[in-house]
Structure 1
Amino acid sequence: MSRYIYEFWIWTDTISTAKISEILGTQSSEPYDPEEDDKDTLWTYQVTQTESDLPFDFVNEFFKILAGKFEILNRYGIKNSNIWFWLNHEYDQECNLEISPEDMERMADHDIPLCITCWKNDGGYIDLEAETTSKYIYKLQIRAEQVTPSEISLILGQKASRSIANTWVYEVTEMESDPAFYFVDEFFKILEGRFESLYQLGIKNSDITFWYLYEYDQQCNMEFNPKKMKRMGENGIKLCITCWERGDPPPGDEEDVPDDDSESSDYGQAA
């Protein structure tokens, strides 16, 4: 059974965590795996949920606690960037998460980063200091019911890496030893100036998704900074995340299908 641990952190070196609780009107929780040195400088609020529980809209609920309190915290020397939202997922087979454009834009507007940790339920809570070797797969996917993927390639000036049913896919694989691939920036380079042309083909921004797939060794940790989330949120693009432990089968994917316009098909190695 999967378990989700939602955490809301506030780092402070100006006031006590007790004072933060007083300002927010909410008592802090003990960190899931606290570091002794952090106890006096880290205020935390935590909610744990299993699959059988009612959904917990953590972004909305955490903002309810913060409502009207940002200015007060700022006066005490706590900047918005000292506030972090955490989504932790203990899973059975694979970790699948979606972050909506609205949630990303709301966090970004307040300069709050989103941190995500996943671990398999046979391994216990992860060690943040562990040595890791990981593989990352980034996908730009565009779902189109009325046009062929090759028509999308023509508009974007970018060959697709592959095709799944009614979906154009551009995919990049990165190993930990490779130069960093900044997928949000790179995918927007492909899309910039072309949203209107896609819309004329019946493709809305909500048909576009960015995928972050992560094969990890020992632990899965990621952080999304507010500027990147703001860019996705403003453009109505959903972020989808999948993690799985090395040695396990990778997550299932739909089979490649041929382009309807086979003579002009542009599948194969991405440019």
Structure 2
Amino acid sequence: MTAAVPAVTLNNGVTMPQLGFGAFQVGEKEIATALENGYRSIDTASAYGNESDVGRALRSSGIARDEVFVTTKVWNTDQGYGSTLAAFDASLARLRLDYVDLYLVHWPAPARNTYLDTWRALEKIHADGRARAIGVSNFRPADLLHLLDAGGTVPAVNQIELHPHLQQAELRAFHARHGIVTEAWGPLARGGLLRHPAIVPLAGRLGRTPAQVVLRWHLQLGNVAIPKSATPERIRQNLDVFDFELTDADMAAIAALDNGTRTGPDPDFFN
């Protein structure tokens, strides 16, 4: 059995596992495998089309609801105050849950210019006790400043593409100044780092997989990470990262890999 996953404390006092399972492009079987192997945080979204799978896997797992941290997100076309409230109701119905632990605005969608109204809807959902925490995803510093200047709730989390090729130092520093947790999606660059000539020998020296080394780097930076895999053995391995540490030299070698390469959309243009 893997070691217990440490938790991070969000700015409203809610605790969140530092390592979770990303449910993008997977189904009930993979989510059930993750729960069986000790994951207690599942990240989904209405756009993934698998909230019902998450709900079924949770119910069949026999794990108490309050032991699993469930995140979902509102999609761009549902942004706006009333439409976000309706989208959240639909997500809860698909999940068959009374509440989620974290609800996120999936993208800032700058051309739509609706995320302030969307955020007001999230604040109501939180105030009504139907989301224990609220946050954003793929927001840039300017988007976050716009939210903060509006004087409402500070997002608990910003979930962003983050991996050794895209380390987002400016955004992580902004988060640190404002008490926002950095959560990394695509933490393994969608597999693009697993054969990297700087990662493979480091993994060999440590007797670990390249994925384990990259996930350990995230944890030591203080990021929350949500790796995804459809392979049972990799699902298990990705959680088995709490009994070794990278040295300062190891961390520096990985820090040198930053080249600004994205594997997903650029939030400047994705609407």
Same fold, TM-score > 0.5, yes or no: no
Hey, which of these two has a bigger chunk of helix by percent? 2
Higher relative contact order (CA 8 A, sep 6+): 1
Hey, which of these two has a bigger chunk of strand by percent? 1
Give the TM-score normalised by the residue count of structure 2.
0.26
